[in-house]
């Protein structure tokens, strides 16, 4: 069974089709770099996969279930454009909340361990509104990973991260990939994405222009994919 199966998906914003008959399969254990120019439809696709939006036409299954089914959402970790943590709660309260929502055993211990892993254990009781940008980003990464998801959906995860948060995220992503978790990651940072990816998908104006394994040719020349399959 594939981690993600997208079959003939269309999504409209008004009359404009953001996704056009998009079909994509992501095998379990693969790390897919989702590439495309701004407005290509990457975020729209990731929002549908995360269960935050429904397609107008077509079907999407995550880990064999509907995107809104509890069975699929419990196994998915999402890191979007927003950090998804509450300003008025402390770091530990934020992680404990999401650990409870995901039904994690021993939320207190899990939250503490993830704070340590993100390098935030010294500010565990500090309110997020008092955190620096980098600290917030690391907390957001911990929130997305704390239930050890089978599938990770990351929308431009390296954008606007500070060096320390990038290091935390890269370590966690490598570990997740090595443990056989599935990752779908939209990004404009081609070299970093291709180094991590096992598979690549390129979207042009809502259509899938290319999907296949990441090759050495792509790694040696990150622009190769856009030149051969991108928009004219």
Partner 1 sequence: MTPAGSIATTVKPELAALRWVRGAAAVCAKDLRSELRSKDTINASLSFALVILLLFSFAFDPGVDTVREISGGLLWLVFAFAGALVLNRSYARELVNDCLDALLSSPVSGAQLFLGKCVANFVLLVAVEVICIPVFGIFYNVNWTRHLGQLAITFALGTWALTVIGTMFSAMTVNLRLRELMLPILVYPMMIPALMAAIQLTTVLMAGNTVSADNLIWFKVLIGFDIIFTILGVSFVDTVLIG
Q: Which residues bind partner 1 (CB under 8 A)?
A: 50-54, 68, 70, 73-74, 76, 78, 80-89, 93, 97-98, 100-105, 110, 113-114, 116-119, 127, 136, 143, 146-148, 164, 167-168, 171-172, 175
Nearer to partner 1 (CB atom), residue 127 or residue 219: 127
Q: Which is nearer to partner 1, 112 or 211 (CB)?
A: 112
Cβ closer to partner 1: 162 or 229? 162
**Beta carbons within 8 Å of 70's beta carbon, 6+ residues apart:** none
Which of 86, 229 has the CB closer to partner 1?
86
**Smallest gap, in angstroms, from Cβ of residue 78 to partner 1?**
4
Phi, psi (deg, nearest 5) at residue 203: -110, 130
Contact between 54 and 142 under an 8 Å Cβ cutoff? The reply is no
| 3-class DSSP state of 150 | coil
User: Rounded to an integer, what distance in angstroms lies between the CA atom of residue 9 and that of residue 30?
Assistant: 21
Minimum CB separation of residue 47 from partner 1 in Å reads 8
Compute the least distance from the CB of residue 205 to partner 1, in Å.
22
Min CB(38)–partner 1 separation in Å: 19
Minimum Å gap between C-beta 57 and partner 1 is 14
| DSSP strand pairing (199-204 vs 76-79) | unpaired
Specify whether the CB–CB gap between 30 and 195 falls below 8 A.
no
Neighbouring CB atoms inside 10 A of 97's CB total 16
> Of 16 and 220, which has the nearer Cβ to partner 1?
16
What is the rounded CA–CA span in Å between residue 206 and residue 9?
A: 10
Integer Cα distance of 169 and 156 in angstroms: 12
**145, two tokens:** 């990973």
In the bound state with partner 1, the residue whose beta carbon lies nearer, of 32 and 85, is 85
CB of 223 to partner 1, least distance (A): 31
Tokens, residue 26:
């992501």
Angle at 37 between CA 66 and CA 47, to 5 degrees: 20
């Amino acid at each position: 069974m594939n981690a993600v199966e997208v079959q003939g998906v269309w999504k409209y914003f008004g009359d404009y089709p953001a996704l056009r008959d998009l079909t994509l399969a992501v095998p379990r254990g693969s790390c897919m770099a989702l590439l495309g120019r701004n407005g290509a439809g990457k975020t729209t696709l990731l929002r549908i996969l995360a269960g935050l939006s429904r397609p107008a036409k077509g079907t999407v299954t995550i880990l064999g279930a509907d995107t809104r089914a509890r069975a699929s959402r419990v196994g998915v970790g999402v890191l979007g454009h927003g950090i998804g943590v509450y300003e008025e709660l402390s770091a530990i309260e934020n992680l404990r909340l999401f650990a409870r929502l995901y039904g994690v055993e021993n939320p207190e211990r899990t939250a503490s361990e993830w704070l340590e892993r993100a390098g935030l254990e010294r500010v565990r009781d500090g309110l997020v509104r008092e955190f620096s940008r980098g600290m917030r980003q690391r907390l957001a990464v911990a929130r997305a990973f704390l239930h050890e998801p089978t599938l990770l959906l990351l929308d431009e995860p390296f954008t606007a991260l500070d060096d320390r948060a990038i290091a935390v995220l890269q370590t966690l992503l490598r570990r997740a990939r090595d443990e056989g978790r599935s990752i779908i990651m939209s990004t404009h940072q081609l070299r970093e994405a291709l180094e991590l990816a096992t598979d690549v998908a390129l979207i042009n104006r809502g259509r899938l222009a290319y999907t296949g394994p990441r090759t050495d040719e792509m790694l040696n020349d990150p622009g190769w994919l856009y030149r051969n399959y991108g928009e004219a």
